[in-house]
Structure 1
Amino acid sequence: MESRPSVARPFYSTFADLYDHVVTDPVGPWTEAVEGALASRGVERGTLLDAGCGTGRHAAAFAALGHRVTLLDASAELLAVASTRCPGAPAHLGDVRDPHLPGSFDVLTCRGVLNDLLGDADRDAAVRSSARLLRPGGMLALDVRDVGRSRERTDDTPRSTTVHRDTGSAVTFTHRSRWEDGLLVVAEEHRERSPDGSVDVQEFTFRMRPWTEQEVHERLGRAGFADVVTGPGVGGRWDRLFVTAVRRA
């Protein structure tokens, strides 16, 4: 058996083909919440950037509703899956802090990605980039972790899921999280057992910084957003915040 720490998150690279078998939360609640916010703000369907699109499940749902979708992700492997799922959609490999994308969009959606930005400067850069990529009057929709509820949920209990690859190998994903100095620390183990009985283990630990509602309002306001609305996470994600805002003219 080989066990080794990884410098990049294996879940986004080595095991990108299994992502949808592990992350199985329904797409509908998110798309319905975004569509409802668009309707209430009078923003019409048009061009939509899914920043941190992952495997493109949500982007494909928006495309089916009539949006002209563009994909952005920092993982080449996840982006490849998303491109297959959303044929014809422009796909860009890049960082939400400085994505180097042309043009502007009517809608920008971003789920979870901003939790991974630990520093104030990085958070401000990502929010400013979002404002730059939106046309005046365009809408931003975010899903971010709520600091109080995230801390409440953290219990350092290991949780595992096993899925199978087409090659016949079984991969067990185990994660456990703890709260440390205001950050959510997540330790992951990826254990793959091949048909010949050999076992390969990859380990990865990363940190997330959840958000407060006050921080959301302050950062978005400084970046050029107005009418910032925060509410409970959608689809039963009770430890999250659903955030919408409009870019000022």
Structure 2
Amino acid sequence: MTSYNELAEVYEWLISDAKLTPAEFAASFDDVISLLPSNARVLDCSCGTGQLAVGLAGRGMQVAATDASEAMVRRTAELAEEFGAPVRAERANWEELPDHFDDETFDMVFCVGNSLHHAEGARGRDAALESMSRLLRPGGRLVLTSRNWELVRSRGSRLDISDHLVRRNGRDAVVIYRWDIASQWEEEHHIEIAIAQVDAAGPVLVRSELLSCWPYRHDELTAELHQAGLRTERSTYNPEAENYTVVASKA
């Protein structure tokens, strides 16, 4: 079962150097943040360890952050406290969002960090997108980032071991991905992510987690957004690129 409770404690090794601080993470979305009104209400859904949520709050926005992992929510709350950022952090999966917030509450909902593929198949994605759409005011936008699953599946099952050390908090680590690619698109796939912390004066400390995922094609995502009442305004999808961003507005 996907939980991120193990990886939550070492998640910073999975964040790129360019997005490591809250301000840097928020700045990576400057093109869509510029579309927001002053004092906008924003939800960071699948918030991870809170870099984006805290970065948005630092710009004066009213920010809520949710994640299905209790450990991620805890780390988000800790980061918000460290930066003195007023972030409302709560544990909730996508289907539970309408239980926590009124309909048409937010100007923008972020679902970033390649998280949507953890929704269980087409039915799960539909439920997730419908929940997020309900929370957007008319004209509000969903900002979603995704892996290029067409590219991922074309490479098949494999082991990817980073060719360099990543330094965080004065320690180095190697990041390892093990991809278990099912034969059919609609079947459950798995990604095992391992963080092997290297210390010259001590043993290697390894944390790993096996994550379930259900991939989708770019055109499927576009159709599912439309079904949830969201119109795609822009997409950076490129068949040769590893990741892409979709911005969709609520009619």
TM-score range, shorter chain: 0.7 to 0.9
**1:107 partner letter:** M
Distance in 2, matches of 1:25 and 1:155, equals 27
Q: Tell me the percent identity.
A: 23
Q: Aligned-pair distance for 1:146?
A: 2.0
Q: Aligned-pair distance for 1:192?
A: 7.9
RMSD over equivalenced CA pairs, Å: 3.4
Partner SS for 2:124: helix
**2:177 partner letter:** H
Unmatched runs of 5 consecutive residues or more in structure 2 = none
Per the alignment, residue 128 of structure 1 pairs with 130
Per the alignment, residue 111 of structure 2 pairs with 110
Q: Aligned-pair distance for 1:116?
A: 0.9
Cα distance change, pair 155–43 in 1 and its aligned pair in 2 (3 A) = same
Between the two structures, name the one with larger relative contact order (CA 8 Å, sep ≥ 6). 1
Per the alignment, residue 187 of structure 1 pairs with 192
Per the alignment, residue 101 of structure 1 pairs with 100
Are 2:37 and 1:44 equivalent residues in the alignment? yes
Per the alignment, residue 77 of structure 2 pairs with 83
**1:94 partner letter:** A
Which among 228, 232, 239 is matched to residue 242 of structure 2? 239
**1:24 partner letter:** S
Normalising to structure 2: TM-score of the pair? 0.76
Partner SS for 2:220: helix
Which among 124, 139, 142 is matched to residue 141 of structure 2? 139
**1:121 partner letter:** R
CA displacement 1:113-149 (0-9 Å, x = unmatched): 2111132211110000011111111111000122222
Per the alignment, residue 21 of structure 1 pairs with 13
Normalising to structure 1: TM-score of the pair? 0.77
Partner SS for 2:223: helix
Cα distance change, pair 122–115 in 1 and its aligned pair in 2 (3 A) = same
Cα distance change, pair 21–205 in 1 and its aligned pair in 2 (3 A) = closer
Cα distance change, pair 204–221 in 1 and its aligned pair in 2 (3 A) = same
